[in-house]
């Protein structure tokens, strides 16, 4: 079973889209394995965005993630990384297709509501940044036979 990290960034929390965004992942059939609200500090933001260090937009990414609460989630399912990225839509909300989270609710590139891991390897690393293993719950969903 593949896992992915999804963050509802401060703009998604402030705009009261948490329930709506969670609903998209639930309705698709992914299974929630971890959920918490976090106020990211500088260290966590820097570790999360380490891949962008040295780029012109790096500092603004850190400030944005630190600017308010973030909802961190771990979702599981068949091809969870790819499925979640399709649900989110492209980085630029103005260009993301309708029906995606960013396409339906976003216009910005940086303040784009959600983050999702871009590979299985990155998902493992990002999950470890945001969650301790004992914060993740393993269970069998009763609808597993239908979703598959």
Going from N- to C-terminal start, the domains of the chain cover 2-132
pLDDT at 148: 66
List 109's β-bridge partners, or say none.
Answer: none
Catalytic residue (choose from 48, 52, 115, 132): 115
Report pLDDT digits (tens) over 89-101: 999 999 999 999 9
Identify the sign of the CA torsion 13, 17, 21, 22: positive
- In this prediction, residue 143 has a pLDDT band, given cuts at 50, 70 and 90, of confident
Tens-place pLDDT, residues 12-57: 999 999 999 999 999 999 999 999 999 999 999 999 999 999 999 9
Can you identify the CATH homologous superfamily of domain 2-132?
A: Nucleoside diphosphate kinase-like domain (3.30.70.141)
The residue assigned the tokens 């969650």 is: 131
pLDDT at 120 over 90: yes
pLDDT of residue 75: 98
Q: What is the value of pTM for the model shown?
A: 0.93
* Residue 115 bears catalytic tag: yes
- C-alpha distances (whole Å) from 107 to each of 1, 64, 98, 112 are 33, 16, 12, 7
Token pair for 69: 């609460």
Backbone angles phi, psi at 67, to 5 degrees: -75, -15
Q: Answer whether residue 5 shows pLDDT above 80.
A: yes
Would you tell me how many other CB atoms lie within 10 Å of the CB of residue 75?
A: 27
Average pLDDT over residues 116-126: 97
Position 145 confidence tier, pLDDT thresholds 50, 70, 90: confident
Which tens digits make up the pLDDT trace of 57-91? 999 999 999 999 999 999 999 999 999 999 999 99
């Amino acid at each position: 079973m593949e896992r992915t990290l999804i963050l509802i960034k401060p703009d998604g929390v402030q705009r009261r889209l948490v329930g709506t965004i969670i609903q998209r992942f639930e309705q698709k059939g992914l299974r929630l394995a971890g959920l918490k609200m976090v106020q990211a500090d500088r260290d966590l933001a820097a570790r999360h965005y380490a891949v962008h260090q040295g780029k012109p937009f790096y500092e603004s990414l850190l400030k944005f993630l630190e600017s308010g609460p973030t909802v961190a989630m771990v979702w599981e399912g068949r091809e969870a990384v790819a499925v979640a990225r399709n649900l989110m839509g492209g980085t630029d909300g103005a260009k993301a297709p309708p029906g995606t989270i960013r396409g339906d609710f976003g216009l910005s590139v940086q303040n784009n509501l959600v983050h999702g891991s871009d590979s299985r390897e990155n998902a493992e690393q990002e999950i470890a940044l945001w969650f301790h293993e004992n914060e993740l719950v393993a269970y069998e969903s009763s609808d597993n036979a239908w979703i598959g």
